[in-house]
A and B are shown apart, each in its own frame.
Chain A
Amino acid sequence: MKPLERLARPGFLLGFSIVLFWVICALFGGFLEPQNPYADDLMNALAPPSAAHWFGTDQIGRDIFSRIIAGAAPILSVAPAATFLATLCGTALGLVTGYAGGWIDALLSRLIEVILALPLIVVALLVLVALGPSSLNVTLVIALVFTPIIARTVRSATITECKLDYVPAAQLRDEGALHIMFVEILPNILPPIMVEVTVRLGYAIFTVASLSFLGFGIQPPSPDWGLTIAENYGLIVGGYGWTVGFAALATASLVVGVNLVAEGLAEAFG
């Protein structure tokens, strides 16, 4: 089967449609929202789902349905940006350590292992405690913690490539190290990088949502789903589950969708 045909499995298609739906919400949310996601209506706070408000209202009366749609944009801008940045840095780092070998490899590998010995979320939190929460800082922090992971994968792939003939051949031709790494090796290791990147994107969304939940990410009054859950999960006990349930489902659907796409890509090109 050709790769593209291998892609068209039900899992991949389902994931792709989910992601596409949320991307459309992120880009064109303004047209899809029935009401202003920021407009408060204090007299109508914490109203259960009804015809007027399909998903109910939150603690200051904002329409939850509109906020769910509007909430796709924050997470779909921060997570991909962070993943992209991590990919750039991680690929460069992995190529260098894999190709150079020797003490550079040993040193950097040890440093990577040190960072990975700690739970990623803790590292992210501590950096954010230091820098202060904001969308930009979250992007940088996630890029920081994902770079070693991507670097590790790229390093393994690079080492495998280096054993193949064309690398010593290029060295014999006196090609510079940078040239060999980025022009010769890189194109050959793109498929595993692509798969890794898609998987990382899923985790980036996971981490952004978690950081928002802990209060370190995207800031109010953003309709970001993680933030919505953080603001409202105390209300579950009082019987106001709709304030968090829909945001939870939205987040779950997005991450599962991205992961199904990643899996599909892995099966097709891996």
Chain B
Amino acid sequence: MIRNGLPPRKPAAELAHHIRDEYRAGRLSRRQFLSHAARIGLLAAAPARAATLGRPGATIRVASQVPAGEIEPLTVSEIGGLVMLCQTGEFLIMDGQDLILRPSLALSWTPNADCSVWTFALRPGVKFHDGQSFGAADVVATMDRLSDPKAGSNALSVLRGVLSPGGTKRVDDLTVRFELDAPNGNFPFYVSSDNYNAIMQPANYAGDFEKTFNGTGPFRLERYQPKVGASFVRNPDYWGRKALPERSEFLFFNDQQPQLLALEDDQVDVIVQISVQGAQGLLRDPDVRIIDFPAATHRQLHLRCDEGPMADKRVRQAIALSLNRPGLIHGLFQGRAKLGNDSPFAPIYPSTDPNVPQRAEDIAKARDLMQAAGQGNGFETTLTTERLQEIPDLAVLVQNACGDIGIKVNLRIEDGATYYGAAQFGRSDWLDSPMGITDYGHRGVPNVTLAAPYLSHGAWNAAHFKNPDYDRLVASYIAAIDLSTQRGIAGQIQRLLLDETPVIIPYFYDYIAATGPSVRGVAVSAMTQVFLQDASFG
């Protein structure tokens, strides 16, 4: 039986040999090898390297964004809230800044032949802060809650179409089986720290997380004050290496500037996330340690493919060719970003095909394309977007670039809430506008960003892009487990999107955090999570 035209799946053991061969042949870097091996659970049992640890007993003070609402694992959807969740809560798998998956509450995970069923072995001897033991029943309950459309969790944006309620099955107290809606080669990422809502909760969780912050993590809650801050203390009953700091204190801020001032005045030790815009001074300060690593955070400039002059792909290509991408990275991010090539395949992903030519500014060619599409006299359109970080500046720069090729762009810069509206077609400026810029956060794999914004019936398809070839390619990418297969399909997707250009992605910018000069051992993820269990001074 032929499954959508692809060769039959390789059993897991053969896969292991296969990626080792790829690595030896030099087609994979060491980091990519580790990342890929970890994903399919080959490294799961490997012990963590013991790092040189600092002195225990410190109080670490952290500046973080103020959570926008209640701290409820199901509904948290922004930085302030998700930073809180990962202080006391833990995930089955940890996704670090190197995109390599590591065991946390799950010890190992293996797929079946076609990646439609994944079996996870859970860590024994784990207790929640309230004393209950952690086991398969809790995983089942948590995942069912997260994947239930009626519960309205933020995690649905990740799990819809992948895992449904009832798909998580308890095999025994320490084994869980996930029966997916469709084969998915990257599934472990979906239950990792990437899915920031997926902290494990007890089966009898009653919806009062903000009062207790009950979890399995190395810290437990001392005090939480909405809009003000939170403090956590070391959990003496933690299953792993006890946290080095005795306490951590979080101060909430509405804006970046007071956070920068607080770090300079030594009122805080860590800033969770920094945007380059506004922090140019801090980034030059020799007394501050900057944590900077590449991430997949990006902006999508969507162009309507179903109506208007931009329905012709030559016009869309012309707009893409009018942008000076290195200039954008230099001016907007001081170089702390990677070039985007108009597809969600960021340079950091192992599955990205590196051989696809990078699009560059070419005004002459852009003008020719406009002529060929019959738009030699130009046209007028409106770019709608939200007021967030550098996006208004990007909008102005796009406006100027389009002006160079004859397109008069009017700007509408709105509040985030107004831009997103009801987030449904017909009731959202985001989804209805002819041209718009949307912010997309980092993800450990491109699955979600390939699907919702681009698929013919994607919920976030602001470009109204409908391409059956694309849909087919994405389905096979998601189902692929083999890295070279993934890469092959990725290459096809990248070239298709470069040709069709429903969305312009000019850059993927780095994740940046900052600490005081004597702080050590702070771990962060590109999801803007911060982990303090190994933090110390000196």
Contacts and interface: CB of A to CB of B under 8 A. Distances in A.
Do any beta carbons of A and B sit within 8 angstroms of each other in the complex?
A: yes
Interface of A: 38-40, 42-43, 45-46, 59-61, 129, 132-133, 215, 219-221, 231, 233-235, 237-240
A127 B260 CA distance: 33
A237 B281 contact: yes
Contact of B399 (A133, A221, A234): A221
A43 B413 contact: no
A235 B414 contact: no
A237 B260 contact: yes
Contacts of A240: 280-281
Contact of A237 (B261, B324, B414): B261
B257 A237 contact: yes
A146 B278 CA distance: 36
A129 B417 CA distance: 11
Contacts of A42: 324, 327-328, 330-332, 397
Interface of A is mostly: loop
B282 interface: yes
Contacts of B284: 238
Contact of B392 (A38, A132, A231): A231
Contacts of B255: 234
Given A132-B414, A219-B411, A219-B413, A238 B396 contact: no
A43 B327 CA distance: 7
A220 B257 contact: no
Contact of B257 (A38, A215, A231, A234): A234
B277 interface: yes
Contacts of A238: 260, 278-282, 284
Interface string B396-414: 1101100000000001111
Given A132-B414, A221-B411, A237-B260, A61 B280 contact: no
Nearest to B331: A42
Contacts of B256: 234
Contacts of B424: none
A46 B418 CA distance: 31
Given A59-B277, A234-B257, A237-B281, A43 B331 contact: yes
Interface of B: 255-257, 260-261, 277-282, 284, 324, 327-328, 330-332, 387, 392-393, 395-397, 399-400, 411-415, 418
A133 B384 CA distance: 13
26 contacts: A38-B400, A40-B397, A42-B327, A42-B328, A42-B330, A43-B327, A43-B330, A46-B280, A59-B277, A60-B397, A132-B414, A132-B418, A215-B387, A215-B415, A220-B411, A231-B392, A234-B277, A234-B278, A237-B261, A237-B281, A238-B260, A238-B278, A238-B279, A238-B284, A240-B280, A240-B281
Instruction: Tell me what chain B mostly uses at the interface: helix, strand, loop, or mixed.
Output: helix
Nearest to A231: B392
Contacts of B399: 221
Nearest to B275: A234
A60 B280 CA distance: 13
A39 B387 CA distance: 21
A81 B315 CA distance: 40
B412 A219 contact: yes
Contacts of B414: 132-133
B400 to A, nearest CB: 5
B301 to A, nearest CB: 16
Contacts of B393: 59-60
B482 to A, nearest CB: 41
B400 A39 contact: yes
A81 B337 CA distance: 45
A215 B414 CA distance: 9
B280 A235 contact: yes
Given A220-B411, A238-B281, A60 B330 contact: no
B313 to A, nearest CB: 27
Of A133, A231, A237, chain B has the most CB atoms within 10 Å of the CB of A237
A59 to B, nearest CB: 6
Contacts of A231: 392
A53 B414 CA distance: 31
B330 A220 contact: no
B267 to A, nearest CB: 14
B331 A60 contact: yes
A46 B279 CA distance: 12
Contacts of A59: 277, 331, 393
